[in-house]
A = this chain, B = another copy of it.
């Protein structure tokens, strides 16, 4: 891992005293045991360092605390549920500001299809709150039991329903942000249309805490689909998967809500490693599988549509075989294969991972050419490329050959493999971070790969909103 970030800041004793008084005993944590959860990376890739953890209980307290930090020139790293993947929320000497105590549900407005919550609400909680109103909050991802709304917005989270509902950015109507100087920007609006000057909220979405602290958000609620139908389909190649996607979109009028591709090797990993999993279609061994979920607004006729689509796909030899989940249990079992794949892969050995995207149409060529480049470096590598084909987003991971330790593999080939894969991604106008963000892990690579004019703009934006460089400094970009 390339976390080359270091930071030292001198914390004035007087600042500590004032911070402790302001935050109170529950809000000020500085014993190593209590700090550990906040300072360790869940993937075990190192620990952060902080003089203390600030856990303000309200937005006003966040504001007062940030003003205090401004007074003493103290840098701050905001943190939500600490489920990030690029080490963006681990402090390196900054004060860690946890949003976990910002827990108010401020407003639910069913007729406006909007809900306003504070940053510390957990995604799974929000899904439940919204379900009680007979609405859907569509964001869904592995860490949803721990990830907080503030962090999910700061990282513009993706997940498994982006194809139909978009990224977190597409679900945000308004934000409340505490600026580096402590002032509160009230950009909480439930409006669908507002063309009054620059859309400032967009800057904070995906900024990974480098411009301000998101304290609350107004989010969209969606109609709940009447029925979701999950199928597990065999395709000969990624190219066939992309053809299937186009067919499915056309036949259902855009109702495809998830479209995930997995190679046989990935399915085998899961079946070997994960308890209580079973092959959804043991009779058909295929090099690739598609998990397709379609969300229908009405139950009537839905099954006919899906069956018609699959018939067409079989006739035109896009799909070779497949099963349609006949029950919730079976749908759950199919989803389990996809959702435990990252964990199964982890058990097999640490892979050299890439979270990349290309235009959907380029995806088959990307996989083919990336494989060729990888095999040219490590002929017998285990390539597991899987993910959100519907969004052009693949998790393209390269595991060591059998018998090679992952550490050794990483040390010997990690940098070379990543350069080869990312070079190809950039040649194809893709992204080296489709959904995980930049953090510290990809900061230096980003700086190398973006154009001068783009880097100048990024720095100008950072300086404009955080002129003292106290908000999560050296994440995303260094100025």
- Contact flag A112-B193 (CB < 8 Å), given A253-B225, A461-B198: no
- Chain B interface: which of A261-269, A298-306, A344-352? A298-306
- How far is A225 from B452 in the complex, measured between Cα atoms in Å? 42
- Contact flag A197-B476 (CB < 8 Å), given A109-B359, A192-B357: yes
Give the shortest distance, in Å, between A69 (CB) and chain B (any CB): 17
Chain B residue nearest in CB terms to A184: B453
Kindly supply a per-residue 1/0 record for chain A positions 323-364, scoring 1 wherever the CB is within 8 Å of any chain B CB and 0 otherwise: 000000000000000000000000000000000011111100
Give the shortest distance, in Å, between A466 (CB) and chain B (any CB): 10
A246 within 8 A of B: yes
Give the shortest distance, in Å, between A390 (CB) and chain B (any CB): 8
A4 within 8 A of B: no
Task: Evaluate contact between A110 and B434: CB separation under 8 angstroms.
Answer: no
Copies of this chain present in the complex amount to 2
With an 8 Å Cβ cutoff, the count of chain A residues facing the other chain is 101
Q: Which of B200, B211, B296, B434 is A193 in contact with, Cβ under 8 Å? A: B434
Give the shortest distance, in Å, between A189 (CB) and chain B (any CB): 6
Task: Evaluate contact between A183 and B460: CB separation under 8 angstroms.
Answer: no
Contacts of A224 in B (CB 8 A): 253
- How far is A210 from B453 in the complex, measured between Cα atoms in Å? 17
Chain B residue nearest in CB terms to A445: B196
Contacts of A452 in B (CB 8 A): 183
Kindly supply a per-residue 1/0 record for chain A positions 173-190, scoring 1 wherever the CB is within 8 Å of any chain B CB and 0 otherwise: 000000100011111111
Other 14 A-B pairs with CB < 8 A, given A193-B392, A196-B446: A110-B361, A112-B362, A183-B453, A185-B457, A196-B432, A197-B446, A198-B203, A198-B476, A202-B202, A202-B203, A252-B298, A253-B295, A300-B304, A464-B464
